[in-house]
Chains A and B, each alone.
Chain A
């Protein structure tokens, strides 16, 4: 089955700096790659996603890139703010899974003011 690896497990940046979180997946047929943000004590929420027919997607300060050949995708956050502090999870949906999602272990991002 699909296996998703996520790095780093923790990341600390200064406010205003950029943050990059990377994920790799094992199933080359996976076709959907979302990112979820979980603030302390809250439920995970979708922040951005990308499908396998697209190489990059942006939404204001966040962007996701996908390299299908290398089977990895990354989340980029620019001009980080303290409210970006949270745990971020990447996920992949194997093509034959009818929509199932397998998550990485998460990255705890801390943005220092």
Chain B
């Protein structure tokens, strides 16, 4: 497809379970971002990948959160031992980050995570 694709669109899990959220960015985009949006809240930065550089993980809220990007394309955000406060919409975005300069972000539809 032409846009950023995220899956699953909705995920309901039990407290303590692990979840994986997937992001397929726009082809050719070198930059990939994960943000978290809680109900009525802003876009909380989680992690940023740019090309082959080491990712900026400074936004990850705890060591239960991790993300990887394989082959410079698809990214997976993993949340271990989920807690109720992890419930949110997880948004992925990609951009054509020319030489590391910020440009327009194209967001996916998000993955809505509910932890019971």
Residue ranges of A at the interface with B (Cβ–Cβ < 8 Å): 1, 6, 32, 34, 36, 43-46, 49, 89, 91, 93, 97-106
Query: Which residue of chain A is the closest to B110 with respect to CB atoms?
Result: A43
Interface size on B, residues (CB 8 A): 26
Q: Does B2 contact A (CB under 8 A)?
A: no
Instruction: Verify A101–B105 contact, CB threshold 8 A.
Output: yes
CB-defined contacts of B110 to chain A, threshold 8 Å: 43
Given A1-B58, A43-B109, A106-B43, also A101-B104 (CB < 8 A): no
Q: Which of B7-15, B48-56, B65-73 contacts A (4 or more CB under 8 A)?
A: B48-56
Instruction: Verify A46–B104 contact, CB threshold 8 A.
Output: yes
Q: Does B90 contact A (CB under 8 A)?
A: no
Residue ranges of B at the interface with A (Cβ–Cβ < 8 Å): 31, 33, 35, 41-45, 48, 50, 53, 56, 58, 91, 95, 97, 100-105, 107-110
Q: Give A64 Cβ to nearest chain B Cβ, in Å.
A: 14
Query: Which residue of chain A is the closest to B51 with respect to CB atoms?
Result: A98
Give bound CA distance, A89 to B97, whole Å.
20
Q: Give A66 Cβ to nearest chain B Cβ, in Å.
A: 15
CB-defined contacts of B109 to chain A, threshold 8 Å: 43
Instruction: Verify B48–A100 contact, CB threshold 8 A.
Output: yes
Instruction: Verify A99–B45 contact, CB threshold 8 A.
Output: no
Give bound CA distance, A44 to B107, whole Å.
7
